[in-house]
């Protein structure tokens, strides 16, 4: 295992880095001097993509600014490698590639994911399992792949990108919320397990940011116009998409991620986003659950 010298840049692996949060974080860290390897299902070892390319693992939302247009000066491109987080062999190959090129992995950022929408009654078990296979078990697989190397090198940092939907159950996004709630539990347990090895684990729970998430939303196959839930589901998702389009720019999260990476003893989770969304998480802990549910139904105009 390659020992980190003071002159060596720290090595960062980011899943789902073709655009969105992953791309913004990767370009910012690369501009700060880190050696960044981003992953995408569409990347190639034969033709490594630049972190400046676009894609749909977390793709660009129309009108989203990137690079220096974001107001941040320190953005740079980074290497992209192929990785499918639902495939353990693909993850192992990607990790081996990074180790062969850089000798170590100091930080792993689990960002790859998508959103499955629809009513619980109508989303199939197979669809829900696919949601968990990416959003939850994908993180589990990546952790299993990098942890032996982090233990051997004497430390590291794992950052899991959760969601506000992992702290508040979102209507018509039950599978997505459940996968992010599960990620909260995984992060808490893993953090205690590997603390003795000098490995830090943190969850970042973003609210609505202006990424491509509406484009990455998948509607359950049986959730069409024939559904008894159709009108409420349609209006709820429209409100969510409006919040996302009017959300904060994704580049704003990158400096915060670096701050967590540098922290010797970070908290288990950080909720980031607009103040009203962060406040909602706080209010949920204070008020009776039935009152909070009424507020949620009012917000999403569910009658």
- Check: CB of residue 26 under 8 Å from CB of residue 78: yes
Question: Is 61 considered catalytic here?
Answer: no
What single DSSP character describes residue 219?
A: E
- Check: CB of residue 59 under 8 Å from CB of residue 212: yes
Torsion sign across C-alpha atoms 70, 72, 74, 78: negative
Torsion sign across C-alpha atoms 169, 175, 177, 181: positive
Please tell me whether residue 173 adopts helix, strand or coil conformation.
strand
Beta bridge partners of 200: 157
Q: From the candidates 28, 34, 61, 176, which is the catalytic residue?
A: 176
Q: Report the distance separating Cα 175 and Cα 131, nearest Å.
A: 7
Q: Report the distance separating Cα 11 and Cα 33, nearest Å.
A: 10
Catalytic residue set: 176
């Amino acid at each position: 295992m390659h020992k980190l010298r003071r002159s060596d840049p720290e090595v960062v692996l980011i899943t789902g880095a073709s655009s969105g949060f992953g791309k913004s974080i990767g370009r910012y860290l690369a501009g700060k001097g880190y050696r960044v390897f981003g992953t995408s299902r569409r990347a190639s070892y034969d033709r490594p993509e630049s972190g400046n390319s676009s894609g749909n693992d977390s793709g660009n939302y129309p009108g989203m600014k990137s690079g220096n247009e974001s107001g941040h000066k320190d953005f740079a491109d980074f290497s992209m490698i192929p990785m499918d987080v639902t495939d353990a062999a693909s993850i192992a190959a990607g990790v081996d590639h990074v180790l062969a090129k850089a000798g170590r992995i100091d930080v792993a950022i689990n960002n790859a994911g998508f959103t499955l929408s629809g009513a619980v009654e109508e989303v199939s078990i197979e669809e829900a399992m696919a949601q968990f296979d990416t959003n939850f078990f994908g993180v589990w697989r990546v952790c299993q792949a990098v942890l032996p190397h982090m233990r051997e090198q004497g430390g590291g940092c794992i950052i899991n990108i959760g969601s506000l939907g992992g702290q508040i159950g979102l209507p018509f996004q039950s599978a997505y919320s459940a996968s992010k709630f599960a990620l909260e539990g995984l992060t808490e347990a893993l953090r205690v397990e590997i603390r003795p090895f000098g490995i830090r684990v943190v969850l970042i729970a973003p609210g609505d940011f202006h990424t491509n998430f509406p484009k990455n939303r998948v509607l359950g196959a049986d959730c069409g116009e024939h559904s008894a839930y159709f009108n409420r589901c349609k209006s709820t998702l429209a409100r969510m998409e409006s919040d996302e389009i009017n959300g904060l720019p994704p580049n704003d999260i990158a400096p915060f991620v670096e701050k967590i990476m540098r922290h010797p003893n970070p908290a288990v989770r950080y909720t980031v986003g607009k103040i009203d969304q962060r406040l909602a998480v706080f209010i949920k802990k204070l008020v009776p659950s039935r009152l909070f549910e009424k507020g949620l139904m009012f917000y999403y105009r569910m009658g």
